[in-house]
Amino acid sequence: MEIPDLRIAVPGGVPCNNPGPMPATTCGRESRRPSRLRSINAVAASLVVFVAACGSATPSSAQSSTAPSPTATAAPPSTAPSTAPSTAPSVGASGDLGGAYQTIEDQVVQIRQLQPKRPINPTILDGPGLQKLVTDGFDKDNPPDVIAANQLIYQALGLLPKDASLKDLEIGMLSGQVAGLYNPDDKKLYVVSRSGQIGPLEKATFSHEFTHALQDQNFDLGSLKLDEVGQGDRSFARLSLVEGDATLSMTDWELQNLTTNDLAQMLQESQNDPSTAQLAALPAILRESLLFPYVQGLAFVQGLQSQGGWGAVDDAFAKPPASTEQILHPDKYAAREAPVAVTLPSDLAAKLGSGWSAPLVDTFGEFQLGVWLDQAPGASKAAADAAAAGWGGDRIAALRGPNGAWGVVLRTAWDTARDATEFEAAAKPLVDGLNDPAQLLPGAGGTERWVLVASDDATLSRIAGVLGLAG
């Protein structure tokens, strides 16, 4: 499980979108995330430079505004940035590198108030080295059937073009955006330097990645089960805690240790970086999923830290969030409002007949539903967020049958009948506009809605009949 630190260039400020996770599967059983979400995707310093320059990162969304939002102002720095120029030791200058990184480590330890238990020796990667690391890691973590199941889900729901390759998009995205990596499995930390220098971006990236190492050494990131089978939404919520913590630590480090010239350089680099255009061109579901742990995760952790200091953040690792709903609505985390348990028939594929399988079963989650609803013609972000905000729980499955037949089943549970009705109204234009046969159907008790999509009308009717949803 690698932890890529993504170089996300966002000119003009921190984005306020509500991205979503992508479920994945392991060989016909329950699901696990692909490397993008199984990884701990650290926010790029080029995104957070705006935060450091302004001293605030307050994502504004209709979802977060429906509940009391945390104070989203970073802790004030103990020293103000100076205007003195910074030095950028060459990658080849091992003595300078060692000293520079040791200084940053000491500064992060003081800021984050966690003590290291083992030394960390960073490795510097250039562009080709990064490409190999990303490609090898992606292929290792994502068997072809995992990618195919995810691609089926996204294409069926209209979130990915029919001619798109999810694998190509993922690898291209990571190769263009990653600025650093931390791997909890082998405890290795990597910093990417395409210029051959250690400048402000590389230093800020290291402060973020070193925070991940401190988290791992003090809380054991493996214990969070960030890639637990069948728990995609919960894993992504916990990922947001991990990334929000490291992002806040990095932001404080930037405020205290980067000069005005450093900040200006980072902002200029982000505005001129071709990865900015690459990010903007991604399908919304990939772009928003990439950003969510850093934007919403940062707001979530800032709320904890503002109310109880770093001790409150530490406590969250012992009692991590259970859903992305809790990240979007921190009052629900405080109240420990658990997701509604939603199930799909375990024998669904068998009931469909010979040759059918269910290669994916997972939870979609509130914020991913928000991304989907925002794709409806004429939809507004606020309306989509509001329609997703009544989420109680869900379960999604990808189905494959003989002769190219396939289906996607999404069962959703809502807090109230009114919430279910609001979701139905927001989702109906999307379902009606899908390229493949689809239905939006009521479920039990007035608080459930089903979304079914299939390769053809006969398959759609067959799936609905097996589920007891046929009229």
Query: What is the arithmetic mean of pLDDT over 134-157?
Result: 85
From CA 162, how far away is CA 91, in angstroms rounded?
Answer: 43
The pLDDT tens digits of the residues spanning 236-263 come to: 999 999 999 999 999 999 999 999 999 8
Whether 81 has a pLDDT exceeding 80, the answer reads no
From CA 442, how far away is CA 420, in angstroms rounded?
Answer: 9
Look at 103-107, 113-117, 228-232, 374-378 and tell me which has the smallest mean pLDDT.
228-232
Query: What is the arithmetic mean of pLDDT over 391-420?
Result: 98
Distances (CA, A) of 56 to 255, 261, 302, 418: 11, 19, 10, 36
Give the pLDDT score at 175.
72
The pLDDT tens digits of the residues spanning 194-226 come to: 666 788 988 998 999 999 999 999 999 999 998
The pLDDT tens digits of the residues spanning 267-278 come to: 887 777 777 777
Residues 6+ apart with CB under 8 A from 143: 26, 27
Look at 5-9, 98-102, 299-303 and tell me which has the smallest mean pLDDT.
5-9
Whether 469 has a pLDDT exceeding 90, the answer reads yes
Nearest alpha carbon to residue 202 among 243, 253, 239, 137: 253
Whether 428 has a pLDDT exceeding 90, the answer reads yes
Whether 301 has a pLDDT exceeding 70, the answer reads yes
